[in-house]
Structure 1
């Protein structure tokens, strides 16, 4: 299984809701076994630079690639890129017993 985690920070605090909306359409893409799009709880004492978190689980690299190739993925990019200041992503494999 591959876990896909992406952090976003809005350029303008007033646009956090629009970033969340633009990313929420990702949940309609059928290739993940789990996909969450949520506001950051911002409870970390050392830094709260992240506004929105995308967390996904994919059975394998092919499923993640299919997710990223879906037209809705590009639509989300088109909506969010002008509004975001930071995007940081990580993908890692985990063994599922």
Structure 2
């Protein structure tokens, strides 16, 4: 199994919207990727919550059956359609993939 964890810090303003609006839109778009390929075992998109510590605005926690499933997800057109939007609204990104 491969765990794929990504965290994004968003710009205060981008694409004519504020950080909170863009975070919600990003989550909506990423949530559409939750079942796009076989082998996605877990797919959770979470936004920073008020009154809880957070240094990033959006987190994706996902688990894939194997590397092939992760690669299929990354290359899938639905995922690829989200990438440009995230690229414009993000200030920073951290990612870690690891096998368990």
Partner of 1:38: 46
Measure the CA separation in 2 of the matches of 1:82 and 1:73. 15
How much has 1:83 moved relative to structure 2?
0.8
SS in 1 for 2:45: strand
Partner of 2:16: none
Measure the CA separation in 2 of the matches of 1:23 and 1:41. 18
Gap runs ≥5 in structure 1:
none
Q: How many residues align?
A: 91
Partner of 2:32: 25
Quote the RMSD (CA, aligned, Å): 1.7
Per-residue CA distance 1:11-66 (angstroms, 9 max, x = gap): 0224322222232222242231111111134623xxx2211111111111111111
CA distance 1:59–1:27, shift in 2 (3 Å): same
TM-score, normalising length: structure 1 = 0.81
> Does the Cα contact within 8 Å between 1:25 and 1:76 map onto a contact in 2?
no
Say whether 1:75 aligns with 2:81: yes
Per-residue CA distance 1:59-92 (angstroms, 9 max, x = gap): 1111111111101111110222111111111001
